[in-house]
Structure 1
Amino acid sequence: MLPHDYIRAVTTDDLMKRREELHDLCGRFARIRDPDLDVEPEEEDSFLRELHYVDSTLVDRMIEARYSNVENGASIFISHSSEDKPFARWVATDLKASGHKPWLDEWEINVGESTPAKISLGVKEADFVIVILSENSINSNWVEREWQNKYWDEVSSGNIHVLPVLYRDCEIPELLKTKKYADFRNSYNDGLEDVLSAINHLVPSVE
């Protein structure tokens, strides 16, 4: 029997990878991509049913992450460039599934509302700001302003509020170089585990 310590929750990354694998096995263009693909009809039927389940689970997770309310947990602003939106969406979805309250612009800003005002309020009210680091984000003035506002709160309060997440290789901003970052480059799940561990450890200090 597998020890309980070896079992972890399924992440969005797990589902997306399995979805890609299933598309390669039974998707519309599977045999075009691989003419030598050898899948029995019974296997293909099983794969198609699993693909439907994975797709449905992903949709349900995204909808729940966006619209469900969480009473407890940390409030977490996700600072990212628009080019890194899919990754930010995955992180936000998994944070919500772990019982936290992620703030993602596309979830929180409605048509007609002031984008700068909503972002400013989101940063101000957040317990933490996760800054997603990539070449895209370090060249974004928006991202820089978002995390720096929280960084100076951190300096004045003495509590950690800014959590760097390394998504792609880039030159880490000077103010963040002394901080340990969660590394998502080689393993999404390892990076997510580090982020959740840090948040769970730090939450009492920001309450």
Structure 2
Amino acid sequence: MATDSIFVSYSSKDRPFATSLTNKLKELGAEVWIDQDGIGLGTNWDNSIEDALETSNILLLLISSTAVASGNVQDEVSIFKEEGKRIVPIMIEQCELPMRWKRMQYADFTSTPEKAMRRVLDALGLNSEESDKFMDLQEKLKRNKAAEAQETTGDEQQGDQPEVKVAALLISEPEIDMAAEMHKKGIRKNWMIIGFIAACSVILLVLMLTVFKESVNIWMAIIGSLLINLLSIKPYGNITKRSQNIELIDLLKLKRDRLIRILNKLSEDEIDKFNTEFKNYVTL
């Protein structure tokens, strides 16, 4: 069983293949990190990726035309090269490679998928005899290519297919609603903290003016009570920030609906920008 931590580097348009491959590797006992599963709600997107890159020993690189054009993928490859860590490249689409990538020996899943997966499993320290379990991924690739071909034709009768495909790449509506609900819970929690602080200051003031009235100056008691209320500044600021994020998330939901209507015009960078914008609104 493999003990190395594997970081999956891929283009968002290859996500269906990447997630299926990740799940199958996990079934074989591999420790695999992929952004789709590795970044929790409310976690800073960039920090999570940086931490995963630092702790992972192997970069599983899924090579395609969109991956080659992705700045994020290129950065991840550069980081692993600079640190001298292992890179296991899989060619999932024939495309022109950057100069630095041409020097890497890759497994060609497009021409000899079974042989390619045996090589990949060997490289990852997994049982290569299980390579036949990955053959259905070839059909997934073929279906994705067929969907892309239909999308580029501009055939209106096939409009629903690209909508399903690209919509799946964007943050889903349930995830957006979940993020808004998370902020609402945070607001309620902070109001409870503010109420608790206010109650404590009132109780303290009453005690000082009754039980300890002979030994405590009335102005000192009032000032002390007001100073305790200063503890409410941070939770109040948190409430303000969360309220702003809820408004932005609502706008983001409307923006998602508009993007769905112009799916054929969405680029890789626009999809990544939308998803990153969502992550920024989730974090404080």
TM-score category by the smaller chain? Answer: 0.5 to 0.7
Residue matched to 2:86? 161
Which of the pair has the greater relative contact order for Cα pairs under 8 Å at 6+ separation? 2
Mind listing any 5+ residue stretches in structure 2 that lack a counterpart? 127-284
- What is the DSSP-based 3-state SS (H/G/I as helix, E as strand, rest coil) of the residue aligned with 2:3? coil
Give the distance between the partners of 1:92 and 1:190, measured in 2 at CA. 18
**SS of 1:162 mapped into structure 2:** strand
Within 2, Cα distance between the matches of 1:198 and 1:89?
19
Matches within 5 A, 1:67-78: 73-78=3-8
How far apart, CA to CA, are the structure 1 residues paired with 2:95 and 2:19?
20
Aligned residue in 2 for 1:145 = 75
Distance 1:175 1:167 in 2: 18
1:72 CA displacement: 5.6
TM-score, normalization by structure 2: 0.42
Hey, what does 1:101 align to over in structure 2? 31
Per-residue CA distance 1:33-91 (angstroms, 9 max, x = gap): xxxxxxxxxxxxxxxxxxxxxxxxxxxxxxxxxxxxxx962210000010000111122
RMSD of aligned alpha carbons: 1.8
Shift in Å, 1:96: 1.0
Distance in 1, Cα, partners of 2:25 & 2:53: 17
Q: Which has the larger radius of gyration?
A: 2
Structure 2 residue corresponding to 1:134, chosen from 37, 59, 64: 64
Q: Is the 8 A contact 1:164 1:176 kept in 2?
A: no
Identity %: 27
After superposition, the Cα gap between the structure-2 partners of 1:130 and 1:72, relative to the gap in structure 1 and judged at 3 Å, is: closer
Q: Deviations over 1:144-203 (max 9, x none)?
A: 11121011111xxxxx511111110111221121221011113443322111111229xx
1:142 shift after superposition: 0.8
**8 A Cα contact 1:79 1:131, kept in partner:** yes
Please give the alpha-carbon distance, in whole angstroms, between the structure 1 residues aligned to 2:104 and 2:11: 20
How many residue pairs match? The answer is 126
2:100 aligns with 175
Out of 190, 202, 206, the position equivalent to 2:115 is: 190
Tell me the amino acid that sits aligned with residue 90 of structure 2: V
Q: Equivalent residues in 2 for 1:77-92 (5 A)?
A: 77-92=7-22
Higher helix proportion: 2
Which whole-Å CA distance do the structure 1 matches of 2:42 and 2:107 have between them? Answer: 35
Alpha-carbon distance between aligned partners in 1 of 2:79 and 2:18, rounded to the nearest angstrom: 19
Separation in 2 of the partners of 1:184 and 1:99?
Answer: 21
Amino acid at match of 2:111: N
Following the alignment from structure 1 to structure 2, what is the Cα–Cα distance between the partners of residues 117 and 181? 29
Please report the TM-score for the alignment, with normalisation by the length of structure 1: 0.57
Residue of structure 2 aligned with 1:121, choices 46, 51, 67:
51
The 3 A distance-change label for structure 1 pair 72 and 194 is closer
